[in-house]
Every structure is written in C-alpha cells, then in structure tokens.
Structure 1
Amino acid sequence: MSLKVSINGKLFDKADAKISVYDHGLLYGDGVFEGLRSYNGKVFRLEDHIDRLYASARAIHLEIPMARSELAEAVVETLKVNDLTDAYIRLVVTRGAGSLGLDPRRTSDPQVIIITDTISLYPDELYEHGLKIITSGTIRNHPAALNPRIKSLNYLNNILAKIEGTNAGCLEALMLNHQGHVAECTGDNIFIVLKGVIHTPSVDSGILEGITRQAVIDLAREIGLTVIERTMDRHDIYTADECFLTGTAAEVIPVIDCDARPIGDGHPGPITKDLHHRFHALVRGETRS
C-alpha cells in the first residue's frame, strides 16, 4: 500500500504529494516544521509539539490556516490511514506560493503538510556502544540573526555542521554558539554527567528547547537526580564522566568520544543507560506519560 501524505487536510499518494515550485518554503526556506514520534499508535507529547509549531510560526509572522485541535486530529488520522503505530511524523507549514521576490505579502495559501513514515536515525549498535562526535567549525545561528528557538525550514546552518561531522567519520557534530559556548548538536540536545549531576546547556545558550530534552530532564528529576541548565564549554564535555544526546528521532543515545577524546572510560555510563531505559518505558506507556 502506498503511503498517504496529508496536504491541507486532503490525502494524496506519496508519489502525488506535491506543492508549487513557487512556494516560499522551497524558494527561501520560509516555513516551520516539527518532527514527532508515535509509539504503539500514540503520538508522544503531541500537544507540546503542536504548541511549539504554532510558536515558531508566530515568530516568523506565519498564520497556520488550521486550528490546533484540527491539526492534531489530522496527525492522528494520517497515522491511522497509513496503518502506522511506531512511526516518525513530519509536520511542515510553508509560507505558500508567491512571486520570485522575498516579499511574503505576495504569497498565498500556506501549505500544511503531514508526512508519516518509519525512521531509524542511528544503527542499533551505537545505542549499546556509544557515538563519537566532533566539534563543528560552523557555529549555531546568532540569536539576533535567527533565533534558534524557531524550528524553521532553513536548516542550512545545521546541514553544514552535519557535513563536517560526516566528513570526519562521525554521525553527529557539536555546535558552539557565537560566544564559543556549547549549544547543541546538529539535530540533538546534549547532556553530560559529572559526579552524579546532570548538566545541559541552558536555553539562552542558543538551543532549540527539545521536547525529548524536557522529557529526560523530568525523568531524571523524578528519580532524584539533579539537573542543572547552564552555560557550558568544551572543557565540560571533555572532562565529563558521561555524555548523551536527546532528540525526537534519536531518543537517548550515549556519546563516548568528542574530538578524539574519550569521555569518561570511553563506554556508555550507568546514568545514561538508566535514562535510556526509563525513556523507552515512558514512551511505550509502561510509566505515566
């Protein structure tokens, strides 16, 4: 069966799901998106993702032509139509078709697109043995240029850093902000563990406020672990006992090496492993959501 894609509330076969080549989402990266996951047929923190999508849209003066409840229902319906229970969901809202100029006033009909499919971001063995990363020379966007809290369609900044990582033989790359402080990786938030305390860059470090990031912070605090959100630099990463990344697609994955420097003993640490298992229990409904 061909997968169906929802565009403005109508379902199309995957091969026939199309938008105009004059859409400003294509021409200029003018739009916003969200990546979501479903487990056992239930979308994980759907309301949080919808809220963040609308916040991103509002920040770029883009009005989404659907009510929040209507969009949430469309996500669930698209999953059902495609008979998917464990899936990745991409929500995209573009500015709509317009002229070849930048002026968004000359656009019309924003496109609301829902894609549901399977995804496997990292090989299974990396969750068991850990991931190696490098520090990218490409810094995170300056917040005065494009606020990193906006999840926009223009991901060239992240893609360039990703290329640096893959060219170095790594599947992820660490990005610093304009002050040289640790921000996040190209698609994931970063955490370290030092003497039993969890540390992660604060929002003002130029990060996207990850939904999975917050879920893991909540899980850690529920079991009595201290989580500190603060300014961090590479020294913190290099001298950590443990390190891990979080993201919708990545979930919780250990990092065992940064810039060819082993982190801790070079193996996934006990707190990382515990949070990985607790997160899986959470999303599978084995604990409260």
Structure 2
Amino acid sequence: MSNPKTQYPAWIWQNGAIKPWAEATAHVMSHALHYGSSVFEGIRSYQTPSGPAIFRLSDHNRRLYASARIYDMQIPYTLDEINAACREVLRRNELTKGYLRPLAYRGLGGFGLSAETPIEVVVAAWAMGPYLGEGVLEQGIDACVSSWQRFAPNTIPAGATAGGNYLSGQLIARDARRLGFGEGIALASTGLLSEGAGENLFLVFDGALHTTPVSAALLNGITRNSLITLARDAGIAVVERDLPREYLYLCDELFMCGTAAEITPIRSVDGRQVGAGKAGPVTRRIQELFFGLFEGRTPDKYGWLEPV
C-alpha cells in the first residue's frame, strides 16, 4: 500500500529483488545522473472485466531493449525477467490500475562520457490518474506551440526512450505551463510539426486522422501505433505525413496521445479555437475504441492486454 503521507508506494524492484521504496538508492556519482545515460518505459496497467492487465507490456519492454541497444547498454536481465518484475511490483503494491516505470541506467563506474559502468535496473509502479490533470480527457486542454524545437536528425536519436531526450520535453512543457497552457507542442528542426512535450499528435480533417511521421523527430509511440491500428480497423482513414504549423489552426479536431496522456483532446492552440473548441466526434470515437479495450467493449484481437 502507498504511504499516506508521501503517496509513494511501499515496494520497488531493483537489480533483481523487491525492496522497500526508500531503500532503492543510487550513488550521486552514477553516470546517468551526470550525463543522462538512462533508458526507460512508461506502461499502464488497467482493471479489466477479466482482472488487471498491462497494456502492451512486452512491446514496451522490447522498446526498452531497443533504446538500450542504441546507447550500447547491455541490460543484465532478460525480457521475461523484466516483464515478471513489472507484474511483481504491481502485485506487491496491490495495484490493479497503475503506471509502471522500468528504467535501466549507467551506474557508478569510471568517469567520463565513454566510461565503462555497470548497468543498473529498476522497476517502479504507482497509482496515476490523467497525466495532464483531472477532467482533461473529457474537457480537453489549451496548448501552445513552443519556442523550443526538437533535435535535428543525426544528433540525438528521437526513437529512443532515453532520459537525456526528455530535457527537450522539460523545456517545452515548463515553457507551456509558465505561459498558462496545459501542454506545449514542438516543431522539428525543419519548422514542421513534430509532437507534444511527451505525446504524439493527431489532427482530424474531414473525418480522417493525420499524424506526423517518425522522421519528424518524434518517438514512435506505442499508444500512437495502437490508435492507428484501431482506427483503421474501424474504417477511419489514417494519413502519416509532414504537417506545417498552421494546420494546427485549421484542423477540425486535434488530440495528443501517449501512455501517460492517454487520449487528451486539444481545444485551442496559441489561443485559437480548434474546431468546436471541444473534443469532436472522431476524437470521441478513438477514445471509445481505446478505453473499450479495458472495459471489454473493444475486442483485444492483437493480444495487447497481458494479465498481471
């Protein structure tokens, strides 16, 4: 159970063992703390009619290993062991609906950018509601285009869920909050649309979904991939293409998606109302299809729900 004073969960998995949350520590000279050398995943567990299930657990953790491979990090556990750790930490914390964070990072070893260090691994889980605030899945948010751009091609790999990548997202998100917006939207180095601070984007034109391609300095989100699949199965057209900034002001509907943000409608951008200024019919349909997976209304035909 979570500590009522701190709201932290009681247990965490670290380097092969479950231990009390407060005992999961890292040295202050760990490589990751100085150089951002970590990779991680964000995964959600939902309560379903068949019991608690983790959404695309194996797909998420396969991406964890892919991110580690990009940064030449050898995770000292198998995929099955990390999947089992995710299930165990949910059970030990008595969570049926929660957020999981597997994290691998370079620990204490040599000094310098290319130093050899041990790879430490933790898996945490905690209760988390809507990432962008209570009520946003229904009411939507007001967003802005950030003055901070995403990294250029062949600089930092946008396709890795690496800790250092999220310095970019922090600048975008904190800038938006400072200005009174719910979230920030970033442009790529090309000046074309990229994604949100930590979410992918979908624009709706004439009943079809339009989303930016992975070449637009964005993470190929697993929620993004899931929504493309669900939409096409439901007969909703999906177009992946480069999109200019002004299309944010011209689209009929707009929403962000991600493991944390789930499906969050955007009602305005830079003070300009999007469509009717609320979640439109396509956005609502996509929400129904997605959340229907966990409520038993959408068939889990791809085996995305993995029992705890």
Provide the TM-score with structure 2 as the length reference: 0.90
| Superposed counterparts of 1:44-59, under 5 Å | 44-59=55-70
Corresponding letter in the other structure for 1:141 = F
| Superposed counterparts of 1:77-96, under 5 Å | 77-96=88-107
Matched, 1:115 2:131: no
Match of 2:203, SS state, is strand
Indicate the residue corresponding to 2:244 in structure 1. 233
Per-residue deviation, residues 141-160 of structure 1 (Å, max 9, x unmatched): 12211011011011211101
Check whether the contact 1:39–1:284 (CA below 8 A) recurs between aligned residues.
no
| Superposed counterparts of 1:185-196, under 5 Å | 185-196=196-207
Indicate the residue corresponding to 2:161 in structure 1. 151
Distance 2:246 2:98 in 1: 37
Give how far 1:93 is off: 0.2
Give how far 1:103 is off: 2.3
| Superposed counterparts of 1:174-193, under 5 Å | 174-193=185-204
Indicate the residue corresponding to 1:217 in structure 2. 228
Distance 2:145 2:168 in 1: 14
Q: 2:23 aligns with which of 13, 16, 20?
A: 16
Corresponding letter in the other structure for 1:21 = V
Per-residue deviation, residues 190-247 of structure 1 (Å, max 9, x unmatched): 0010011110001111110111111111111111010001101112111000001101
Identity of aligned residues (%): 36
| Superposed counterparts of 1:1-289, under 5 Å | 1=1, 3-40=10-47, 41-105=52-116, 107-108=117-118, 110-120=119-129, 121-154=131-164, 155-289=166-300
Indicate the residue corresponding to 2:305 in structure 1. none
Q: Compare relative contact order (CA 8 Å, sep 6+) and give the higher one, 1 or 2.
A: 2
Gaps of 5+ in 2: 3-9, 301-308
Match of 2:65, SS state, is helix
What do you get for the CA RMSD once the two structures are aligned?
Answer: 1.2
Distance 1:20 1:124 in 2: 35
Provide the TM-score with structure 1 as the length reference: 0.96
Give how far 1:163 is off: 1.2
Gaps of 5+ in 1: none
The count of corresponding residues between Structure 1 and Structure 2 is 287
Corresponding letter in the other structure for 1:137 = S
Q: Relative to structure 1, is the Cα distance of residues 91 and 284 closer, same or farther in structure 2, using a 3 angstrom cutoff?
A: farther
Distance 1:73 1:239 in 2: 46
Indicate the residue corresponding to 2:5 in structure 1. none
Give how far 1:20 is off: 1.6
Distance 2:275 2:177 in 1: 23
Distance 1:246 1:126 in 2: 12
Check whether the contact 2:290–2:298 (CA below 8 A) recurs between aligned residues.
no
Per-residue deviation, residues 6-61 of structure 1 (Å, max 9, x unmatched): 00111121111111212111121101000000012211001110111111000011
Distance 1:283 1:183 in 2: 29
Give how far 1:284 is off: 3.5
Check whether the contact 2:44–2:55 (CA below 8 A) recurs between aligned residues.
yes
Give how far 1:285 is off: 4.0
Match of 1:124, SS state, is coil
Distance 1:160 1:84 in 2: 32
